[in-house]
Amino acid sequence: MPYLPQPPSSLTGPLGEYLQVLWRAFNKIPNVSAFSGTTPNSTVSGYPGDIAVNIGSASTTSRVWIKGGDARQPSTTGWAAMRVLE
């Protein structure tokens, strides 16, 4: 699902082309959500590639999560913790 609507088709020429490039690039940026708890599963909805950041103190080893699953359907499951190996 795009974050921004597509620029109006009435914008043509260099400005229209430039805005199309910006629109495509901006909409490829993953959504970042904040949550507080042990997991974003069942609480944070997202699309594959989205990121959830744990801002609570429930866990110090799983602060950042990434969403997997089917790109066409948002869901609240399929989040996996990104952990740093020391």
Could you tell me if 80 and 68 are in contact, meaning their C-beta atoms sit under 8 angstroms apart? yes
Token reading at 17: 């082309």
Span 20-32, pLDDT tens digits: 999 999 988 999 9
Is residue 36 domain-shared with residue 77, that is, in the same domain?
yes
pLDDT, one tens digit per residue, over 36-67 is 988 999 999 999 999 999 998 666 678 899 99
Going from the C-alpha of 17 to that of each of 4, 13, 22, 74, the distances in angstroms are: 16, 6, 9, 30
Helices and strands counted in the chain (H then E): 1, 4
The parent domain of residue 44 ranges over 31-82
pLDDT computed for residue 67 by the predictor? 95
- 22 lies in the same domain as 45: no
Position 76 confidence tier, pLDDT thresholds 50, 70, 90: very high
Contacts with 55 (C-beta within 8 Å, 6 or more apart), sequence order? 34, 35, 36
What is the pTM for the complete model shown? 0.73
57 and 75 share a domain? yes
**Does one domain contain both 74 and 47?**
yes
Same structural domain, 46 and 4: no
